[in-house]
Structure 1
Amino acid sequence: MTSLVQPAFPFVNVTVDASALIPTAQRAPGVVAVVGNADGATAPPSTPLVVTSHDDAINLFGKAKAATALSSSLDLVLQQDPQPSKIYGVRTPTAGNYAAALTGLEAADDVTFVCLANETSIGAATAGATAATGLHALTEHVENMSAAGSRRMAVAMIDPTLPRTATYVTDVLATTSYGSLKSPTGRLILIAARGATTNAAVTPAPVADAAAAAMGAIAGYAPSTSVVLKQVRGFTVPVTQQYVPAEVTALAAAGAIPLIDPALIPGSGLFFGDGGAFSADPAFNYVDERRAIDQIEFQLRAGLIGTVGDARITKAGLTTVRVRVESILGPLLLGGVIDAFSVNIPLLSILTLPDSARSATDQAQVVTARQNRQVSVLISVTYGPAVHRLNVTLAPQF
């Protein structure tokens, strides 16, 4: 006869539930992608490949070990300090076919910055079945990907070879020129570096990809760090081509970021002269503001995904949701990324009341939420931006 009694050993049966050990998804805020022409390269086209060194850049995207537009731009990204957390290179299938290469980049959902290798042509927007070209392909890509949930920013540059004129700023930023690229959501960073060259001793001097270098410099810093007066490495601008104070002010006022060599900083180098985004939306006028909001949004989505399907629409369940939000935003507050925050779940306020104290409207909101299984959470965050200008009053006296 078989006994139904379990054997004594090992006396205590323990089942391990490792669900609480699953880490929260993280998104590195400084992942960049350079898309460009590299005819004759060994890398497959329209395929994002990670680059960690000059050897990677030249072996994957060079032509017979010689530099191409794409490998040269990747080298500039690699020269930044601090460097981005990850660097992708994407080769176009044919010269100038950025739309196809950018399509290949769509699945790389960790990308936060994109630029086109040494591209200054504005191109044309999508028209029917005709894909966008030039920098319009870049701006459309980041806008479309961001709208789909993969938040990205584009970095482009004003043609460094455009000569200095009395109306330089007006000429390059007119609506029919680079002004037509203005982002409706603050997702474009437009760099101005007139005369930028990687080797001024060579004639003609090779044009430097200021956009790629600037992108690498920005991505190396935390999202809430202002880009103002951060250094961009890898190329130079002759003194005769550098912007005069009036041009610096006009470019910054228009949303472009001029690269300058200020006398107030010892030594010689190029620094961001402003921190603005080339934005058509006044709510997103600054690079760090756009980046910080994108990063906070991702942390909330990643941190709250575990509550979907588990947290119930009850007082206890929604309290758990509120506590989870506070645990996500709390470290940002302690780290100085944000200055304050509040969490409001209207339905939780209703569920806190006894049934007898709820109005008909309150009860209807509870019923609707439970039928639709949908709860609204309002999170208010106070962002404390960095100082961009100090107004000092000097009052000498005897």
Structure 2
Amino acid sequence: MKKVLLVAAGLSMSFMGLAQKKNVTTAIQAMGQGDLDEAQKAIDAAVLDESTKNDEKAWMTRGDVYLKLMEAGKVPQDKAIQEAANSYMKVVQIKPDYKTADMDTRLLNIASSYYNTGITAYNNKQYPEAYNALELPVKIHDLDGGKRFAANKSFDTVATEANRVRAYSAFYDNKYDDAAIILNKLKDNPITEEPNNYLMLAEIYSKQNNNAALIKAIEEGRKKYPNDANLRNQELNIYIKSGKTDELIKKLEDAVAAEKDDKVKAELYFNLGNTYNNMAFPKDAAGKDMAKPANYTDMVAKAIAAYQNAIKLEPTKAEYQYNAGAVYFNQATEVNNKMNAITGNTAADNKKFDDLKKQRDGYFTQALPYLEQTYNLLDAKASSLSQDDKYTYQASMMALREIYSRTSQLDKAKAMKAKMDAAK
């Protein structure tokens, strides 16, 4: 009796396996006859059964069925393509050499379709959708550790571009960890080697307050792209924020010496001037004036020289003109404060006052041509100034009015006040 039972069990299993293989055949026949509901039912049953769940033909058929279901409008496109892709990739996992040419064609068509879907979503600023859609062409490309499509260089480019857009999508969706993982791969890929990878990584690490990673990314980027102005500016900003002024000055001086483009060189000189100026007139965290450094005179002279070099290269840049004039104007203001502090009326007091006035007016005289040039450059386009230029424009008028008033050029002072009132 026991032997009969064992034989019966074996027969049962055999019939079940035949039934599932029959399901594969049924699915193929039903699909050919246009009965897609029956095809779907049969093939879904086949790939769930133990006897056929690892059958490459079953999975290939399932992929074909779902694409037919999509064409007939019976399954939404995204779901159908995803199911088909998963089915075809399962075929490759089970038997990599199964109908290789046919499988590659199927997989590449799906990769192309989802790539286009992802790019459209990205262009429409649908970042989560773009990120998810573009994962599929990357997965297909990476089958068998990337070996399956290694000879297909155009697919290499498509998959890499998909990864790039995935990184951007994650970044704009504030998924910074996901973006950083992809960007760290892109920066070493010959297809996507570019400074922007490091700039985006730097921005991510800055938002995450990860200074160590930020500095590492910028240093690596600068080493790889020493002439990229954006990376250089990022590096300079790091030194400015960290207060490493000596290192910053050395970096700026080296950058100035290496730069060939006059416009970029002028900007570097301007940054160098600002650094010296900040060192000459230090302020605390609250913006209040601090004691001058021992090398104050040297810092002022270097600031002015740097601004003058910037102006020589770009004389029509109002910001450069204004900052050069502001160095002299600020010195004049400090002298004027000393004059106001004199309360006595002795001969010595009067002499001290007159000496200070002469010194102050000397600074005003030096500031005047820079501030007047600033005003003239911006007044000519006053109706279309940016916010930064508007600030510089107004500041130059205030400084000029002060100089004209203090140096008894009252008609000019009056005209400048009228100009200021009209500009409000």
Question: Per residue, is there more strand in 1 or in 2?
Answer: 1
Fold shared, TM-score > 0.5 on shorter chain = no
Question: Per residue, is there more helix in 1 or in 2?
Answer: 2
* TM-score category of the 2 structures, normalised to the smaller one: under 0.3
Which gives a bigger RCO, structure 1 or 2 (Cα 8 Å, sep 6+)?
1
**Length-normalised TM-score, structure 2:** 0.23
